[in-house]
Amino acid sequence: MSVDTQFETVIGLEVHAQLLSESKAFAPVSNRFGSAPNTNVTPLCLGHPGTLPVPNENLIRYAVKLGLATHCKIARKSIFARKNYFYPDMPKGYQISQFETPICYEGYMDIETEERGERRIGITRIHMEEDAGKSIHDQDPHNSLIDLNRAGTPLLEIVSEPDLRSPEEAGAYMRKIWQMVRYLGVCDGNMEEGSLRCDANVSIRPVGQKEFGTRTEIKNLNSFRNVERAIAYEVERQKEVLLSGGSIIQQTILWDPVEMKTRQMRSKEEAHDYRYFPEPDIPPVIVTDEMMEEIRLEIPELPEERKKRYVESFSLSMDDAEMLTEDRPFSEFFEALLEQGARAKPAANLINTEIRRILNERGGTIAGFPVDAKRLAGLIQLREKDAISSSAMQQILEAMLDSEKDAEALAGELNLMQVSDSGSLEPMVEQVLAENQDEVKRYLQGKVGLIGFFVGQIMKKSKGQAHPAKVKELVEKKIQDYA
Amino acid sequence: MNQESFIRIRAELIAGKKTLPDIVSAYISRIESVNKDINAVTQLHGKEALEQAERIQKKLESGTAGPLAGLVIGIKEVLCQKGYPATCGSRMLADYEAVYDATVIERLTEQDAVIIGRLNMDEFAMGSSNENSYHGAVKNPHNLSKVPGGSSGGSAAAVASGMCMASLGTDTGGSIRQPAAYSGVVGLKPSYGLVSRYGLIAYASSFDSIGPLTHNVDDAALILKTIAGHDERDATSSSLPVPDYPELLKNLEPGIRVGIPEEYFENGLDTEIRENTLRIAAELEKNGAELIPITLPHMKYAIATYYILATAEASSNLARFDGIRYGHRADIKKVRVDLKNEENELKEQLRNQPGGEEQIKEEMARMDSPMIRLYKQSRTEGFGMEVKRRILLGTYVLSAGYYDAYYGKAQRIRRLITDDFKNAFSKVDVILSPTTPTTAFDLGSQVNDPLQMYLNDIYTISANLSGICSINVPVGKHSADQMPYGLQIMADAFHEQKLFNAAKLVENVVNGD
């Protein structure tokens, strides 16, 4: 290998999605984030003797749903397996997972990046498992603390083929998974809280080489940015090692987002022998034709189809449609505006500009936006009727955030209704023309650009409420009286 | 010995000839006088049992008592009973108090059974002699120098010695039927999935069954009817409706097809047991049964298969006993000191050698963390020999590189054994055999020979591998040692009514009815 060797990056992701489920994977207990430590627990989550896991039906239905949406084959019969290891946050001494027979397998997801265009990424498998508890090592100087609230939380693990070729592709794939689980309603996609996280298997090989290089596994990446940064860092590290004549050691590494570098967690020699075997406490999971069809019907319109529909039926631009469909709640909000009678284009504009700006400034989610669809549709319609100006629209929207009133009432209160009837405008026009004889003369001599001056004067007089186009029309008509 | 059956006592209670508090008091006195020799009862709940008795007596008088009113029952310590130690015969759980009731406990108490106490057992239900117990060995009431069998030795001995009318035991490879045979009582292993395992401290999850030990077949049928049936807390529990076994037993069907498996009458079987078993079969034939020779060709692999699969499951099931949240925990201070000493020793040894510093670093990296050492020390102190042996065996057969050769192969043989039974039950209603090859052996005689000990389960173990139901019916005492032995009946899974029917036919033959 020489300094000039060109490398190809090979990445596979294992994404963990915590299910949006009221109860744990194998026990009827709540599964809320943010509860006091060790309160969402039962004898089962604590690993008390004699307790038995009973699978949550949602876990199975959500797995099938995600599998169908990602073009996977669905195993009609799959089994749970035990993954055995000792750790204090794993109270049973084993994790219930799936090993030889995942419930979904051989699917794919299409992604797109600027550098490599559209690509199809294989999904090896999606399997069901339970989460471990949380070990906290940095809050007590002498002890590690354990919170078992998360123990037994239902998870889906989505394993990709090693088809990703760059950190950007890995990021794009992760975003697609995020989008998909949110559309399907199987996971809230909240990466900060750890509802969605991933491990990345990374290796490099000289371009043209068939065999994969030795891979390392980066654990627990919990933001799109960290996925991309950690992989980019690891790829560079591997290049340096290879170019300096070293070899890559198969190992598990951690990404430190503060130091912006990776560090070793354990090497292959220390790798666990998990001694997987079929979970004897849970019978095989059977997915019937009937269940498959039922779940298929529950799958909502997915982002790609939806984007296409927005462009074709509403003549939205590709960018607008993309922005609206990227995250399901935005497109839900858009559709709610349409239902309330707003036209698609102005509705899309309002969401993609003003509403996004307000959310950025004020924080919060689109689903919790303080102005409901009905009032916003009213605002859009007011603007569509030309009853308010576009800047008035912004002002009214701001006012609506702290008010229960509808757009028309606020426009009235704030004196933002545009004046466009000739009866009220004509006296103002006549007055301005009379007061500016010089300009009238120059206009009539051909300086037609002065029209802006007249309109401006009238707008000022009307305190901005005059309808500019209407004013312009009246000025053009009335000025002829001086010819 | 007090051999009174529940059914008879219940009739007397209902007729007002006896009262339940008197009966319970008599059992308490019995326990107080004989248990010190037999060591079957580990916890006597005398006060609570008397309170229960008073309460249920009132119900009996007002005619509102449940179907098990009058039953005085003991519970194997492997079953969780809220607020009471569930020691499982182990130092590991010596101070562990159950935090909830097992489903079977709930069902028994709902039907007005009185629980009189908790019963000794082999540690974590592993053993065939009840010598592997933190509470000490249980003695056979028929001869205190003999074992009662295991692992439900306490359950068998307590019933045999009249310390309770019935007991619950668990059967993973024969742990109800073998001690029932050695102690001369009826012992039922129901079909896998018929009785909820919720609250049963697991040994081998795909084998464990809970069942009653009683004085007669009718009592077993009545208790099974109460504890059987679907439980949403156990995903392996069956949803099939539970037949009314006692009702069905009122009309015995003598014209049954009885399979006689050649493999159960071969070498190693005591001659007298063999002959008496065949004599009883002949009596059944005389009364209308048809005897059909059958073969169960994979039976010879049953013990090996069992000790691979059951120990594999055990190695995982017992992983939770780590001393972190509950159970025995080694002295952490001592663990730290020991580690420090080992470190110092290491440094001392290597310091002056060439490359010593490097070596010290390497060795130190290889040493356990205090956490790992705490696990190891807690488990070393908490578990007994046999439990450790099975955890090691199970861990080994699941290890990378060995899985296919052991666990995978054993799984396939398990299927073949199940198919053997399927074939057999297409031709016969029940299968009849001895329960054990011999009578109870002397205390201590097999402690150092685990393989010999494992052979005790040779006739019982395949019922657990295939999930079918099976029962021991006592058939008399051996002329050589005056020790009891039994006859085993097996029926297809969820065909307990056939099992009870045949068992009662045998019981009638034995009683000369």
Of A49, A86, A280, which has the smallest distance from its Cβ to B201's Cβ? A49
Q: Is B76 a catalytic residue?
A: yes
Residue A117 · residue A99 · CB < 8 Å: no
Nearest to B191 by CA among B399, B491, B501: B491
Q: Sign (positive/negative) of CA torsion A56, A57, A60, A64?
A: negative
Which of B86, B232, B235 shows the shortest C-beta gap to A282? B235
> Is the CB of residue B195 less than 8 Å from the CB of residue B104?
yes
SS3 call for B474: strand
Q: Tell if the CB–CB gap between A283 and B235 is shorter than 8 Å.
A: yes
Q: Provide the residue type at B326 as one letter.
A: Y
Q: Annotated catalytic, B152? A: no
Cβ atoms of B507 and B221 closer than 8 Å: no
Q: Show the tokens assigned to B78.
A: 């492997």
Q: How far is A134 from chain B (nearest CA, A)?
A: 15
Q: Residue B326's closest chain A neighbor by CA?
A: A48
Instruction: Centre a 10 Å sphere on the Cβ of residue A129 and count the other Cβ atoms it contains.
Output: 22
Is B322's CB within 8 Å of A55's CB? no
Q: Give the pLDDT confidence of A364-391 residue by residue, as tens digits.
A: 899 889 999 999 999 999 888 888 888 8
Q: How much is the mean pLDDT over chain A?
A: 90
CA dist A270 and B306 (Å) reads 31
- Show residues of chain A in contact with B235, CB under 8 Å: 52-55, 281-283
Using a CB–CB cut-off of 8 Å, the residues of A that contact B are 43, 46-55, 82, 84, 86, 88, 91-94, 144, 273, 275-277, 280-283
Given an 8 Å threshold on Cβ–Cβ distance, is B232 in contact with A281?
no
Q: Check B322 against A46: CB less than 8 A apart.
A: no
Query: Is the N-terminal amide bond of B129 cis, ω within 30° of 0?
Result: no
Residue A96, beta-bridge partner list = A82
What's the pLDDT at A29? 63
Tell whether the torsion through CA atoms of A93, A98, A99 and A100 is positive or negative: positive
Residues of B in contact with A281 (CB under 8 A): 202, 205, 234-236
Q: Do B93 and A49 touch (CB under 8 A)?
A: yes
DSSP string, A294-324: HHHHH----HHHHHHHHHHHH---HHHHHHH
- Report the residue from B199, B232, B319 with minimal CB separation from A93: B319
Rounded to two decimals, the ipTM of the complex is 0.94
- Contact criterion met (CB below 8 Å) for B62 and B88: no
Helices and strands: H and E segment counts in chain A: 16, 16
Q: B99 has which bridge partners?
A: none
Contact B79 A280 (CB under 8 A): no
State how far the alpha carbon of B55 is from the alpha carbons of B17, B44, B60, B103, in Å.
Answer: 18, 19, 9, 22
Domain boundaries, chain A: 3-290, 301-413, 422-482
Q: How far is CA B25 from CA B14, B28, B46, B426, in A?
A: 18, 5, 8, 49
Q: At residue A64, does pLDDT exceed 80?
A: yes
Chain A, chain B: beta-carbon pairs less than 8 Å apart? 96
Identify the active-site residue in B175, B183, B196, B433.
B175
The whole-angstrom separation of Cα A453 and Cα A462 is: 14
Between CA B135 and CA A240 the distance in angstroms is 64
Q: Is A283 within 8 Å of B324 when comparing Cβ atoms?
A: no
- Is residue A156 within 8 Å of A17, Cβ to Cβ? yes
Residue type, A385: K
CB B27 within 8 A of CB B73: no
For residue B158, report the phi and psi dihedrals to the nearest 5 degrees: -65, -40
Measuring CA to CA, which residue among B253, B187, B151 is closest to residue B473? B187
pLDDT digits (tens, 9 = 90+) for A288-315: 999 999 999 999 999 989 999 999 999 9
Instruction: Please name the member of A55, A93, A280 whose beta carbon is closest to the beta carbon of B205.
Output: A280
DSSP letter at A75 equals: -
Radius of gyration of the CA atoms of chain B, in A: 24
Q: Do B102 and A50 touch (CB under 8 A)?
A: yes
Rounded to whole angstroms, the Cα distance separating A358 from A401 reads 10
- Listed in sequence order, the residues at least 6 apart from B349 whose beta carbon sits closer than 8 Å to its beta carbon are none
- The token pair that represents A240 in the structure block: 């340096």
User: What crossing angle do the helices spanning A422-435 and A468-478 adopt, rounded to 10°?
Assistant: 60
* Listed residue (A454, A427, A457) closest to A440, CA to CA: A454
Cβ neighbours for A22, distance < 8 A, ≥ 6 positions apart:
A30, A31
Contact B129, B441 (CB under 8 A): yes
Closest approach of B365 to chain A, Cα-based (Å):
11
* Pairwise CA distance, residues B511 & B215, whole Å: 13
d(CA A434, CA A190): 65
Angle (CA) B457-B463-B466 rounded to 5° is 130
Q: Which residues of B touch A269 (CB under 8 A)?
A: none
CB–CB of B316 and A93 under 8 A? yes
**Residue A63: both structure tokens together:** 């797995």
Helices assigned H by DSSP within B134-263: 153-160, 177-183, 217-227, 245-248
Q: Chain B contacts of A283, Cβ < 8 Å?
A: 235-236
Phi, psi of A108 (to 5 degrees): -160, 170
Instruction: Give the contacts of B310 (CB within 8 A, at least 6 positions apart).
Output: B172, B173, B203, B204, B207, B390, B394
Q: Using CA atoms, how far apart are residues A232 and B73, in angstroms rounded to an integer? A: 68
What are the chain A neighbours of B118 within 8 Å (beta carbons)?
none
Q: In this structure, what token pair is assigned to residue A375?
A: 């009032």
Q: What is the pLDDT of residue B1?
A: 46
Please answer whether residues A159 and A29 qualify as being in contact, where contact means their C-beta atoms are separated by less than 8 angstroms.
no
The answer to whether A45 and A29 have CB atoms below 8 angstroms apart is yes
pLDDT confidence tier of residue A269, bands split at 50, 70 and 90? low
| CATH topology (fold) of A422-482 | Arc Repressor Mutant, subunit A (1.10.10)
**Set B5, B76, B152, B225: catalytic member:** B76
Judge contact between B194 and B179, C-beta under 8 A.
Answer: no
Contact B315 A86 (CB under 8 A): no
pLDDT at site B267: 83
User: Per the residue annotation, which of B151, B183, B209, B315 is the catalytic one?
Assistant: B151
Residue carrying structure tokens 């201590």:
B444
Nearest chain B residue to A91 by CA distance is B320
Copy the structure tokens of residue A146: 């354990």
Q: How many other C-beta atoms are found inside a 10 Å radius of the C-beta of residue A211?
A: 6
Residues in chain B predicted with pLDDT less than 50, given as ranges, are 1
Indicate where chain B has its CATH 3.90.1300.10 domain(s): 6-303+420-511
The DSSP line for A107-144 is EEEEEEETTTEEEEEEEEEEEEEE---EEE-SS-SS--
Burial pattern B262-300, b for ≥16 Cβ within 10 A else e, equals ebbbeeebbeebbebbeebbeebeeeebebeebebebbe
* Assessment of whether the complete model's pTM goes beyond 0.90: no
Calculate Rg over the CA atoms of chain A: 31
What are B's interface residues with A at a Cβ cutoff of 8 A? Answer: 79-80, 86, 88, 93, 96, 98-100, 102, 197-202, 204-206, 232-236, 312-313, 315-316, 318-322, 324-326, 371-372, 375, 395, 398-400, 403, 407
Three-state SS across A434-476? Answer: HHCHHHHHHHHCCCHHHHHHHHHHHHHHCCCCECHHHHHHHHH
Q: What is the pLDDT of residues A102-156, one digit of tens each?
A: 999 999 999 999 999 999 999 999 999 999 888 888 888 888 888 898 888 899 9
Cβ distance A55 to B235 less than 8 Å, yes or no, reads: yes
Each residue's pLDDT tens digit, A18-38: 998 777 777 766 666 667 777
> Chain B contacts of A50, Cβ < 8 Å?
79-80, 86, 98, 100, 102, 198-202
Residue A265: predicted pLDDT: 75
**Residues of chain A neighbouring B325 (CB-CB closer than 8 A):** 46-47, 91
Catalytic annotation present for B151: yes
Tell me the β-bridge partners of A13.
Answer: A200
User: Alpha-carbon dihedral of residues A430, A432, A435, A436, nearest 10 degrees?
Assistant: -110
Please state, in angstroms and rounded to a whole number, the distance separating the CA atoms of residues B132 and A414. Answer: 88
> Which of residues B181 and A436 earns the better pLDDT score?
B181
Query: Hey, what are A346's tokens?
Result: 């102005």
Residue in B closest to A48 by C-alpha = B320
Question: What's the rounded Cα separation, in Å, for the pair B189 and B212?
Answer: 8
Point out the residue among B100, B232, B400 whose CB comes nearest to the CB of A43. Answer: B100
> What phi and psi, each to the nearest 5 degrees, are found at residue B495?
-115, 45
Torsion, Cα B160 B162 B163 B166, to 10 degrees, reads 70
> What fold is seen in the domain B6-303+420-511?
Amidase signature (AS) enzymes (3.90.1300)
CB contact (8 A) between residue B407 and residue A91: no
